[in-house]
Amino acid sequence: MKEIGSHLESEKNMKLWNFNFITLLGINTLTFMAFYLVFPLLAKYTSNLGASLSMAGIIVGLFSITALFIGPFGGILTDKTSKKHVMIIGTFINGITTLGYGLSPNIASIIFFRIIHGASFSITSAASVAWATDFIPKNKMGEGIGYLGISQIIATAFGPEIGIEAANRFGMSKTFIVSAALIITASLCMNFLPNKDQIPINNTVDKKHLIHLKDIIAFEILPLSLIGGLFFMGNGLATSFLVLLGEERKINTIGMYFTVNALFLIFTRPISGKIYDKKGLSTVMYPALLFSITEALLIAHASALWMIILAAIFKAFGQGTAQPALQAECFHKLGSEKKGLASSTFFIGANLGQGLGPLIGGTIASSLSYEWLFNFSALSLLCGIFAYAIYNKRTHSSYF
């Protein structure tokens, strides 16, 4: 298949809204929409196959656990081969595993496909952002990554509802099959995008064919990854326990939290990217951490829906602004030859936070209360302010 634009525009003349970037945004939206069509169905689907609720939870969680361990190796694969080919093959495997869910006759096969899906998705998550940066001007990296995240926001806002409705009308197996078809279509569309030549990394790995820890984890940006993980931990807590909190406190239609948050994220993510590009990381991070602390405290003490909606808005100005800025900073820190490593290292914190958050939260909620659960989240983010201040003082983290 003939590639469109065999040579990318020069960095100097490249515009943010170029054809390749717009095309990739469309492909990302299609991929994430297909993913979130079936995201809320898997626990119920495994239960229908005979799994207990606890087993269903473990199967769903296998995705993040696998991603945590496999994701860092995605950086090596992305940097040393071809970002385009990694994305095409990885996305195709994502489609096959999704198809596998729909055709699985038992729990054992679901577990098999879940592990493979977690591995392939973690690799494509790292590779997709790294590949997208090939089409983003360096001086607009934060803004570009902010827009890239909007594709996922749109998917999370509409995908689950569409998927649940489709499952009710046509059945879960057919919904999985449709999702798989969309993902495989997205992998085929990637063939039309150009492939920027990889810049070889001259280190001991090339000479001795050995893999060292520094080639799996970029320790210079690991603090940024772990600080970012605090935002994802708060996200995991809200996703896992907000509905239960609403039931306990008799707050109806608490699901509006997710809709309101998604709508505001559409505006906050690109704006935060522009601020980062002009002013640097600290200008974004300190307000973002304070916004997220406020969000956690609002949920902790919420007694009415308006407090939950206000918390959703604060979250959009918290995690929604910090995430693209942190990702852009990671890319600037490591340079163009290590984009895959930068992306995979960033997602270490994301997977840790998203995975450990519900685990820790469940213990706190059962022993104490939901109020203490979200107070704990606020305290963690407060510690994040001090951690970032120490990191910033030691490294002068802005690239400007």
pLDDT tens, residue by residue, 132-154: 888 888 778 877 877 887 887 78
Instruction: Quote the domain boundaries for residue 364.
Output: 217-393
Structure tokens at 264: 């505001």
Inform me whether the pLDDT recorded for 175 exceeds 60.
Answer: yes
User: What is each CA distance from 89 to 16, 63, 78, 188, in whole angstroms?
Assistant: 26, 18, 12, 10
The predicted pLDDT at position 3 comes to 44
pLDDT interval class at 12 (50, 70, 90): low
- Residues with Cβ < 8 Å from 400, sequence gap 6 or more? 280
Cβ proximity of 261 and 366 under 8 Å: no
In a shared domain, residues 369 and 262: yes
Do residues 112 and 239 both lie within one domain? Answer: no
Q: Establish if 190 belongs to a structural domain.
A: yes
The string of pLDDT tens digits covering residues 15-34 is 878 888 889 889 998 998 89
> What pTM was computed for the model?
0.71
Whether 149 and 298 map to the same domain: the answer is: no
CB 51 within 8 A of CB 59: yes
CA–CA distance, 127 with 92 (Å, rounded to integer): 14
Instruction: Decide which of 212, 240, 263 is a domain's last residue.
Output: 212
Do both 143 and 158 map to the same domain?
A: yes
Last residue of a domain, one of 196, 212, 228: 212
pLDDT greater than 60 at residue 158: yes
301 & 242 share domain: yes
> What residues contact residue 18 under an 8 Å CB cut-off, 6+ apart?
9, 135
pLDDT band at residue 384 using 50, 70 and 90 as cut-offs: very high
Q: What is the CATH number of the domain that holds 149?
A: 1.20.1250.20
Q: What is the pLDDT of residue 399?
A: 40
Q: Of 178, 212, 246, at which residue does a domain stop?
A: 212
